[in-house]
Amino acid sequence: MEQSLERVNHILEALPYITKYSGKTVVIKYGGAAMAKADLKESFAKDVVLLKYVGIHPVIVHGGGPEINRLLDTLHIPTEFVHGHRVTDSATMDVVEMVLTGKVNKQIVSMIHAAGGNAVGFSGKDGNLSQASKTKIEVEIEGKPPEFVDVGLVGKIDKIDPTVILSLLEKGFIPVISPVAESANGESLNINADTFAGELAGALKAEKLILLTDTSGILIDGKLVTGLNRALVKDYIKKGDITGGMIPKVDCCLSAIDQGVKRTHIIDGRVPHSILIEIFTDRGIGSLIE
C-alpha cells in the first residue's frame, strides 16, 4: 500500500506541470547517447508520446552523427571537423541527407509509432519549412586575428516558416525533423541540429526548448548549475567556466529566448525518461536557462 501511495504522489507531483503546459509546444533536440542505446531510445519515445497524450505538443529535431560517420567510413569518404562542424562537400552532403532524412528520421518515427504515438517525419527542406545560406566557421588562432574557414555545404538558418508544423500539430501528429535545409538556389545544406532546434523553437514561440546532451547539464567547478539567465551565462563564458561544445548550446538557448521561447533546458539524455523528469518534477534534472 505504501508503495502504491508513493507512486500516486509522484503522479500528483506532475499535475500542476501538466495543467501549466497543456496546449503548449515543446521543441526537443534528440541526439547523443539517447539515440544509441536501445533502452534510452525506448524511454525517449515513451516520453514523447506521453507528452502528446497529456496535451503538450512535442516537436522533435534530431541529429545522427555516428550513423553518418559509419556510412562515410564504409564508402571510404574522408571526413573532417572544424570546431565541431563537419566539413561537407557534395559527396558528404549526399550521405548526410541519405542518413538523416532517409534512415534515422524514419527510425525515430517508427519508435514513436511503437510507443503508441502518431508521428510524421521529414526534413527542413519539406513544406517550405526552412531556408538557409552557406556559412563560414570562425577559428581563433593564438596571436593572430580570427580566420573564417569555408566548411563547404554547412548552413545557417535564414528563415523558418512553421506553417507545416502548425498544421501537423493541429491534426494531432508529432513532427520529427532532420536538420537539412535548402538555400535560395535549391542547394542542400547541413545544419547543426541544436541550431536548427533553437531557430524552430523561436519561430514556433515554443514554451520550451530542450537539448538532450551527453552531460548532466552546465557544470561549473564540477557542479551542475541551473536557474541561469543571459548575464550569468555570458559571465561564465567570459571567465572560462563554460567552454568548448557547451558554448554553441548555450548560445542556441539564448537565441531561442530572444525569439520568444519561455524556457530552455540542457539535460542529460543518458538518463532514462530525462524529459519527463525535467518537465514534470519539482527538482528537474538539468540546467535551466530563461
**Residue stretches of the annotated binding site for substrate:** 64-65, 86, 190
The continuous run of DSSP H or E covering 121 comes out as strand 119-123
Report CA 219 to chain centroid distance, whole Å: 19
Which residues are annotated as part of the binding site? Answer: 64-65, 86, 190
Give the CA distances from residue 279 to residues 50, 162, 244, in Å, rounded to whole numbers and listed in that order.
Answer: 12, 24, 27
Beta bridge partners of 182: 131, 188
68: alpha, beta or left? (left if phi > 0; alpha if psi -120 to 50): alpha
3-state secondary structure of 62: strand
Going by DSSP bridges, is the β-strand pair 85-86/81-82 parallel, antiparallel, or unpaired?
antiparallel
Kindly report the number of other CB atoms within 10 A of residue 7's CB atom.
Answer: 10
Report CA 117 to chain centroid distance, whole Å: 19
